[in-house]
Amino acid sequence: METNKKVIFSGIQPSGALHLGNYLGALRNWVALQDEYNCVYCVVDEHAITVRQDPAALRRQTLELFAQLVACGIDPEKSILFIQSHVPAHAELAWVLNCYTMFGELSRMTQFKDKSAKHADNVNAGLFTYPSLMAADIMLYQADLVPVGEDQKQHVELTRNIVQRFNGIYGDVFTMPDAYIPKVGARVMSLNQPDSKMSKSIPEGCVYLMDSPDEIMRKFKRAITDSDTERCVRYDRANKPGVATLIDIYAAVTGKSYEQIEEEFAGKGYGAFKPAVGEAVVELLRPLREEATRLLADKAYLEGLYRAGAEKAASIAQRTLRKVHKKVGFLPR
Ligand code: ATP
Ligand code: LTN
């Protein structure tokens, strides 16, 4: 890694297919930041098993996600791209950090509360300590910035607390990271439940990167708008949440402001607006889907990429882990 550049770290779970929320909220930034920073990007399969996964499906989704990240523009020559379980230092540092993370802190995490309500039959210790593994991911690479969607802000805040606590005891071991949240696209909402974030757990309202153009158009045509009689394209999140969701997506995809969008569709109604948003998304995703399909046909090439990525990641991670082991008082190997 070049020494004069700041470090970026981010991760994404292979727990399902990549969707428009992931792309606009996080991935697009991952790509944009590659020239200016030393970027380290990770497919976090260890995080994914905090909820039950089918092993064959997890393997397939991990490879597919890896290919999709490359297709979206993560360049393995510029950035380090790897799979979390291939670098054992993540699990090793997470154990140490668990001993510097408080039960009360973890209990306050909204993702833990949400996921333990959703998976009430499997509230396992990994789901609870998930944020210490995420902190380990970030801290191993001494990351300055963590590009994520709004929902992950609380986890980055917790990481900051752990850094402060650890450094307070042992001196300057870790860099203090900051969350990097985009201005548009930070929280893409579900097309059919506009008060929930777009998520693979609500598949009807979720547009996947690999959806066919027909499927994307179908989802946008069925998107919830509202029943007011004026049927006018105007941004009003409180009273017209469905329309606001579509305007937000259109703004994030085209770069237009709310005012420009309202003007563009003045007097046209939802019948024209919904397919226009659909078409913009189809064109955004088309080249990404085609490139991912092409890459997935060459498994040997992808294997070569993730092996090389893990090697580069491990050498940085190992350096931090050795330092930590020394600080906490483990005998050197
Ligand atoms: P899901 O809710 O679909 O299970 P997730 O948040 O559990 O998604 P990841 O796939 O790990 O899981 O998310 C990867 C990145 O995408 C994170 O940075 C997250 O903040 C971002 N992200 C996820 N959903 C959205 C959304 N609807 N809008 C904006 N960003 C999002
Ligand atoms: N918790 C995140 C995924 C994640 C991550 C990370 C993001 C795991 N480790 C490190 C940024 C940095 C999620 O659920 N989206």
Ligand nearest the Cα of residue 194 is 1
Residue 280 Cα to ligand 2 midpoint, Å, equals: 28
Q: Which ligand is nearest to the CA of 146?
A: 2
pLDDT digits (tens, 9 = 90+) for 201-226: 899 999 999 999 999 999 999 999 97
- Alpha helix ranges (H) inside 190-298: 213-221, 241-254, 258-264, 270-296
What is the pLDDT at residue 3?
79
Mean pLDDT, the chain, rounded, equals 95
Q: How far is the CA of 147 from the centre of ligand 2 (A)?
A: 9
Q: Which of 8, 13, 18, 22 has most ligand 1 atoms within 8 Å of CB, for mutation?
A: 22
Q: Let me know if 197 is a catalytic residue.
A: yes
Q: Is the pLDDT of residue 229 over 80?
A: no
Residue 124, pLDDT score: 97
What is the Å distance from ligand 1's center to 324 Cα?
Answer: 30
Query: Which of ligand 1's atoms lies nearest the C-alpha of 12?
Result: 11
Q: According to the model, what pLDDT value does residue 69 have? A: 97
Q: What is the pLDDT of residue 333?
A: 87
Q: Which of 217, 209, 250 is nearest to 233 (CA)?
A: 250
Q: Which atom of ligand 2 is found nearest the CA of 147? A: 11
Catalytic entry in 6, 78, 200, 327: 200
Q: Is the pLDDT of residue 276 over 90?
A: yes
Does residue 134 line the site of ligand 2, with CB under 6 A? Answer: yes
Neighbours of 274 (CB within 10 A): 22
Q: What is the pLDDT of residue 145?
A: 96
Instruction: Measure 86 CA to ligand 2 centroid, in angstroms.
Output: 16
Residue bearing the bigger pLDDT, 16 or 325: 325
Residue 277, classed as helix, strand or coil, is helix
Residue nearest to atom 18 of ligand 1 (CA): 148
Choose among 245, 195, 184: nearest CA to 220.
245
Query: Coil, strand, or helix at residue 191?
Result: coil
Ligand 2 touching residue 19 (CB < 6 A): no
Quick one: which ligand is closest to 139's CA?
2
- Domains defined for the chain, CATH in brackets: 7-186+299-328 (3.40.50.620), 203-293 (1.10.240.10)
Grouping H, G, I as helix, E, B as strand and the rest as coil, residue 58 is helix
- Residue 149 Cβ < 6 Å to ligand 1: yes
Catalytic residue flag (residue 118): no
12 alpha carbon – ligand 1 mean position (Å) = 8
pLDDT at 2 over 80: no
User: Which tokens is 277 given?
Assistant: 């948003």
Residue whose tokens read 């609380």: 154
What is the CA(320)–ligand 1 centre distance, in A?
28
For residue range 57-91, what is the model confidence (pLDDT) as tens digits?
999 999 999 999 999 999 999 999 999 999 999 99
Q: What is the pLDDT of residues 115-161, one digit of tens each?
A: 999 999 999 999 999 999 999 999 999 999 999 989 999 999 999 99
> Is 68's C-beta closer than 6 angstroms to any atom of ligand 1?
no
